[in-house]
A and B are shown apart, each in its own frame.
Chain A
Amino acid sequence: MSDRDTFLPKFAALALIGAGLVFWARSVLDPYALSIVMFVGINVILAVSLNISNGFTGLFSLGHPAFMTIGGYMTAILVMPAARKGLMLPDLPAFLAGQEWSFLPALLAGGSLSALVAVIVGFPVLRLRGHYLAVATLGLIFIVQSLAVNLDGVTRGALGLSGLPSLTTTWWVYGFVLLTLFVCWRLKHSSLGRTMLAIRENELAAACLGVRVARTRVFAFALGAFFAGIAGGLWVHVVTLISPDSFSFGLAFQLVVMVVVGGTGSITGASIVAAVLTLATEFLKPVEESLNLYGASQIAIAVGVILILIYRPAGLFGTAEPQPLNLIKRLGSRHTSPANSPE
């Protein structure tokens, strides 16, 4: 109860500390290192938003790359200067050809289109459960990819859109990381979030208590898709390129790993694991090259995942959010603290 009342000041304090770190990073790091920082942030957005469906609501979705593709194309097309569109995409429908949006509204539009697609796809697909849902969302990745290849009037087909402006900065990424964390944290610790956890735990019981199961599932799926769309828009304006296979099954696997290892339902867990995995992949690359063992880091990560699933099947953090302050308090007075954390 009390942590709800102190949530805003706490969040603001952490956001300020983070802003200080971003500021510091921008003044000391070279552009390559900064791009890694941006990928860390984007992966945090992706993992935390995937946690809404896969962690809170218990929908095993692999569909994030599909929504990133949709958001990425939408954002890229909207911000592209009209003159360049004329050259690159001469067949673009007139209502898109004249648009020249600034970055923020374009990102939000990309996210919204992804969410809309999630709603449309969600009503039939979310009737499926477990493995069937995973396979259906996997199918969604390939459907979106093949649409991107074949709608060449809008997407320039397999060539993709290259030479995009590098609009994404660490500040943009940081802002959306904060937004994602804020929304997810609020959601998880609310009545609505509890209904999502209830659906995950026992769908029939939730329905018999008046929880609108179908609607809540679609909502969770669409909210995750919204952030995935934004992350896609941010991503393509880091690498300045989007093609139909920019976001593929491999990425879906990585994101699911982040959620599963971090703890299905734990925002802190997903964020930490997303950051660690992104950095590890990056730092292990030169090691692989020097040892001539290409792919070794992927194998190491896969082995790590297997070990965690054997020894901590609920992930590192379970559904809990570790609270450093409470932890210190608990260590101080073991007997007085209520056993309210399953961690």
Chain B
Amino acid sequence: MPSDNGALLSVRQLNKSFGGIKALSGVDFEIPQGVLAGLIGPNGSGKTTAFNLVTGVLKPTSGQIVFRAVDVTGNAPERNAELGMARTFQNIRLFRDLPVIDNVMVGLHMRNGPGFWSTVLGLPRASIAERNIRKEALEALEVLGLADKAHQIVANLPYGDQRKVEFARALATKPQLLLLDEPTAGMNPQETADLGKTISKLHKDLSLTVLLVEHDMKMVMGICEELTVINQGKMLASGTPQEIQNNSAVIDAYLGRRREKHDA
């Protein structure tokens, strides 16, 4: 259900202040349906804030967010999840004391979960729903190669696997837009490369629109089709990885250039 101009998500003139600090001012970007897009910028540039505003975790000070042609500005995260946004977190937020599969099954409640009465009365509807939830959760785990760890307590998994569980959990909500907040944070180069492959594979296989916040430039330049760069809460540039790599403003602020050249 693309909006009038074909974008799945459009963010217009987004502002967010925390007290006197302007975290974001006048940020605009659009993510067309089916694109793997990246949001990059130096530390503290407001990437995670932008994520939190889009998903509804924070309310914007002003500006507009349109998702699937619906104005979702200031929506609660629950509502945005229902509309088809799913996200992962920079610092992993799993249901730590629950088994891996239960973590994923929570993601399936929204679309498949039976209500209180059919649950308590044990109606056939409830047991069918429960069986489907379990089946789909296992499928989501299989996509990420975690099916054999389904019954382990999530807190006992290695870090990389925990990231993947977060991923599977997000996929279980059947999102239109998957927002990944620094998925490779804390991973070694091998794990980073593997995850990059997984992301582009999911993007292709499920024709999923993905917005990726990432620091690993090699990965971003390798898999993203479109990039938005922000710096100190302001828009810096947007375009294809190629364009971004050659954009002098981006190079100055972020990618860096050799000092002699800069002075010259």
Contact = CB atoms under 8 A, between A and B. Distances in A.
B106 A219 contact: no
Contacts of B77: 204, 207-208
B70 to A, nearest CB: 16
Given A197-B98, A204-B57, A340-B151, A210 B78 contact: yes
A336 interface: no
Contacts of A7: 122
Interface stretch (A76-84, A160-168, A188-196): A188-196
B119 A191 contact: yes
B114 A211 contact: no
Nearest to A342: B153
B122 A211 contact: no
Nearest to A192: B119
A209 B86 contact: yes
Interface in B76-96: 76-78, 81-82, 86-87, 89, 93-96
B93 A204 contact: yes
Interface string A198-212: 100110111111111
Contact of A190 (B97, B98, B126): B126
Interface string A161-195: 00000000000000000000011001100111111
The secondary structure that dominates the A interface is helix
Nearest to B101: A340
B116 interface: yes
Interface size class of B (residues with CB under 8 A): 35 or more
A209 B151 contact: no
Nearest to A213: B78
A1 interface: yes
Contacts of A9: none
A31 interface: no
A208 B57 contact: yes
A207 B86 CA distance: 10
A182 B120 CA distance: 8
A339 B152 contact: yes
Interface residues of A, number: 35
B96 A201 contact: yes
A4 interface: yes
B143 interface: no
Contact of B116 (A4, A219, A340): A219
B99 interface: yes
A194 B81 contact: no
A192 B95 contact: no
Contacts of A219: 116
Task: Identify the interface centre among A209, A213, A319: most chain B CB within 10 Å of its CB.
Answer: A209
A1 B101 CA distance: 12
Interface in A13-64: none
A15 B116 CA distance: 23
B202 interface: no
A195 B152 contact: no
Contact of B173 (A187, A201, A209, A213): A209
8 tightest A-B CB contacts, nearest first: A210-B110, A210-B81, A201-B95, A205-B93, A191-B113, A207-B77, A198-B106, A340-B151
19 contacts: A183-B120, A187-B119, A190-B126, A190-B130, A191-B130, A192-B109, A194-B98, A198-B103, A201-B96, A204-B77, A205-B89, A207-B57, A209-B106, A210-B82, A210-B107, A210-B109, A210-B110, A219-B116, A338-B151
